[in-house]
Every structure is written in C-alpha cells, then in structure tokens.
Amino acid sequence: MKNKYSQCTDEQLVELMRSSKSESDAAFTEIYDRYSSNVNAYCRRVLNNREHAEDIFQETFFQFYKHVNNQHMGGSLRGYLITIARNLCLNFKRDTKQTVQIDEIDFLFKTYQDYEEKEIIELVRMSIELLDFKYREPLILRVYNDFSYNEIAEICEITPTNARALVFRAKLKIKEILKSYMADVTK
C-alpha cells in the first residue's frame, strides 16, 4: 500500500521536512526509502570497507536531517545526499590511513556461475580500488550510480568535460591494469 508521501516530489518532501514534526518524520522516511540504497552503495564503493561505509552512510542521513532547515540544496536531492556522503568520505579518508580491502566483494554479487567469472570480477574490483580517488570516484558515480556527467561534475566540483575525461581515463587505467593478467589467461 502506497502512502501519501510516495507521490510527492523531492522538493515537496524537503518542504514537508521543514514543517511539523509528524510531517517531517514521514517525509524523511520517504526520502530515506528512495535514496538510502544509492548512498549506501556509494559509501561502500568509495571506502571499500563495510563498517566504515555503514558509519558514513548513517552520518549522511543524520547530517541531512539535522541541517535540512538551514541549507539550500540546489540541484537534485539524490545529488545533494551523495555530496554529503562524498564530503564525509573525503574527511574520513583524510583522517585515517586507508588500506586496500580485498575481502569485501561478496556483498556486490549474490551468486557466481563459475570460479573464473568470480576471479575476473575480483580482478576488476581490485583494479578499481587501485585507481587514484580522483579517477575512482567519477567512475563509481557513473557506472554504479548511473549519474550523468553534469551530476558528477556538480558532486565532484569539476566541469562536465572533466568528469567525462576522468571516467574515460579511469576505464583506460583499468584496462591497463588488467592487460597483463588477460594476456596470461589467453596463453
């Protein structure tokens, strides 16, 4: 059964959050239901650590709820939430030393048809982790979150042309990383 808030636009939900407490909680719940999976996936892919990603994910919605009355969102709500998550992820990465987590692939893929497919998927994931953050973030936003180049530019504070170039370069770097492995496999 759909509630009355499921028919509201993002802008209407934000306005409802700024009104009475009961309206605010219900509107927030609808926003959370709409965008929590996108924000959670973004945090997991950027941080490569489930526990840290879960903390940043929760903090993203906490910060949004806490400051919704004080901030102008400009652009899409989905992009605004990802921007909050991005800033929290960047702060976390700045404040902690990161290591590459190799054992975090299982949440992405439910079943594998064979060992070789699993191995290739793991290699691709690891190659994404090896990318510099400036390449990895736009690639994740484009490939996994299906953001447009204009949205990526807004979130990353770059031009759309630069966003497109960074995604293209990230793909080239992944191909280069995988080139030697694929040459071994085809021998």
Tens digit of pLDDT for each residue in 141-185?
988 888 899 999 998 989 999 999 999 999 999 888 888 776 665
Of the candidates 41, 67, 65, the residue with the CA atom closest to the CA atom of residue 54: 41
Residue 94: which region, alpha, beta or left (left: phi > 0; alpha: psi -120 to 50)? alpha
What integer is the mean pLDDT of 110-137?
75
List pLDDT tens digits, range 3-55.
788 888 888 888 888 887 778 888 899 999 999 999 999 999 888 889 999 99
How much is the pLDDT for 4? Answer: 81
Query: How many residues does the structure list for the chain?
Result: 187
Reply yes or no on whether the pLDDT at 100 is more than 60.
Answer: no
Reply yes or no on whether the pLDDT at 92 is more than 80.
Answer: yes
Reply yes or no on whether the pLDDT at 88 is more than 90.
Answer: yes
How much is the pLDDT for 55? Answer: 93
**90 vs 106, residue with greater confidence:** 90
**142-157 in b/e burial notation, b at 16+ Cβ within 10 A?**
bebbebebebbbbbbe
Most confident of 15-19, 58-62, 112-116: 58-62
- Contact, 16 vs 27, CB < 8 A? yes
Mean pLDDT (the chain) is 82
Q: How many CB atoms lie within 10 A of CB 112?
A: 15
How much is the pLDDT for 176? Answer: 87
Reply yes or no on whether the pLDDT at 105 is more than 90.
Answer: no
